[in-house]
Amino acid sequence: MAKHVNWHQRHTDSLAFGQRLADSVATGMGSWRFIIIQTVIVIIWMGLNVVGFVYHWDAYPYILLNLLFSTQAAYAAPIIMMAQNRQNQRDRAQADEDFRTNVEAKKEIEQLQILLNKIEIDKLDKIITMLEQMDKK
What are the φ and ψ backbone dihedral angles of 102, each rounded to 5 degrees? Answer: -65, -40
SS3 1: coil
Range of the domain at 97: 16-136
pTM score > 0.85 for this model? no
Query: Over 70: is that where the pLDDT of 27 sits?
Result: yes
Average pLDDT of span 4-24 = 77
How many other C-beta atoms are found inside a 10 Å radius of the C-beta of residue 26? 19
Task: Give CB contacts under 8 A, 24+ apart, made by 117-120.
Answer: none
CA–CA gap between residue 10 and residue 2 (Å, rounded): 15
Q: Which amino acid is it at 13?
A: D
CA–CA gap between residue 137 and residue 130 (Å, rounded): 11
Q: Which amino acid is it at 86?
A: R
Is residue 6, in this structure, part of any structural domain at all? no
Is residue 93, in this structure, part of any structural domain at all? yes
How many other C-beta atoms are found inside a 10 Å radius of the C-beta of residue 35? 11
Query: Over 70: is that where the pLDDT of 53 sits?
Result: no
Structural domain total, the chain: 1
CA–CA gap between residue 102 and residue 40 (Å, rounded): 50
What is residue 1's predicted lDDT score, i.e. its pLDDT?
53
CA–CA gap between residue 38 and residue 40 (Å, rounded): 5
Is residue 74, in this structure, part of any structural domain at all? yes
Is residue 5, in this structure, part of any structural domain at all? no
- The answer to whether 65 touches 57, Cβ cutoff 8 Å, is no
- The pLDDT mean for the chain works out to 87
Q: Which amino acid is it at 84?
A: Q
Is residue 8, in this structure, part of any structural domain at all? no
